[in-house]
């Protein structure tokens, strides 16, 4: 089972980073920074959603139909003439579903840390979301996953490829006060304004190589 960071360091990941960078007109290193934090956050939020039967069913259906992984088979075509608006619209829908009302917080938090403006971060996220879903769809098919438990394990193993600092970062961001609410006070946590000083500055510093 390949973790997400393996994807980003693979030839496909490099193509993905350069494609997203050219689409948004941003340097590849900053684009890679945003993707390396945004993609695990997306998966982590999906893992939270799968804990409810309705969330699990919705994700299973999406991965069995539209998001079966086909998008990854032609990244050259995807980025060749600029990313198709339908893919970006799809990404916006995924983000709204996965992050809910916390989406702006996530964008602002990633903006603070990467130095890119929130609008650009939002653009990167809209392109990244369908690609994360496609990657998940491919892994689901390869692992023969067909129920919520399997999906939960699959997401866990994909996140398991993260270095320890990323793991703690995801856990902390996705449920800052342990109440089960997805991404609560993510902006406060990332920007260091949270009441809980849990060494997140150091974690984020490590994540972004600062």
* Helix (H), strand (E), coil (C) string for 97-142: HHHHHHHHHHHHHHHHHHCCCHHHHHHHHHHHHHHHHHHHHHHHHH
Residue 188's pLDDT is 41
Q: pLDDT tens digits, residue range 30-51? A: 999 899 888 888 888 888 888 8
| 123 located within any domain | yes
* Domain ranges, residue 49: 13-175
* Cβ 42 vs Cβ 129: under 8 Å: yes
User: Which residue, among 187, 193, 167, 3, has the nearest Cα to 104 in the 3D structure?
Assistant: 187
| 155 located within any domain | yes
Count of domains observed in the chain: 1
Tracing tokens 């609560």 back to the chain, one arrives at 184
| 99 located within any domain | yes
Residues of the chain with pLDDT under 50: 1, 176-210
| 139 located within any domain | yes
| 1 located within any domain | no
């Amino acid at each position: 089972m390949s973790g997400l960071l393996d994807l980003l360091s693979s030839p496909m990941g490099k193509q993905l980073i350069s494609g997203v960078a050219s689409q948004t007109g941003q340097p590849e290193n900053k684009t890679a920074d945003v993707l390396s934090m945004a993609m695990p956050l997306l998966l982590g939020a999906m893992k939270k959603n799968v804990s409810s039967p309705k969330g699990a069913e919705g994700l299973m259906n999406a991965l069995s139909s539209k998001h079966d992984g086909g998008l990854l088979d032609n990244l050259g075509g995807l980025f060749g003439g600029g990313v198709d608006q339908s893919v970006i619209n799809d990404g916006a829908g995924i983000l709204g579903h996965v992050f809910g009302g916390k989406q702006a917080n996530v964008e602002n938090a990633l903006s603070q840390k990467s130095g890119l403006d929130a609008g650009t971060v939002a653009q990167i996220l809209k392109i990244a979301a369908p690609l994360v879903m496609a990657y998940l769809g491919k892994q689901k098919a390869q692992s023969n996953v067909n129920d919520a438990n399997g999906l939960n394990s699959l997401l866990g193993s994909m996140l398991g490829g993260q270095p320890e600092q990323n793991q703690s970062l995801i856990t902390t961001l996705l449920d800052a006060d342990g109440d089960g609410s997805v991404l609560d006070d993510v902006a406060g946590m990332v920007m260091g304004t949270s009441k809980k000083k849990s060494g997140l500055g150091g974690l984020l510093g490590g994540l972004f190589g600062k």
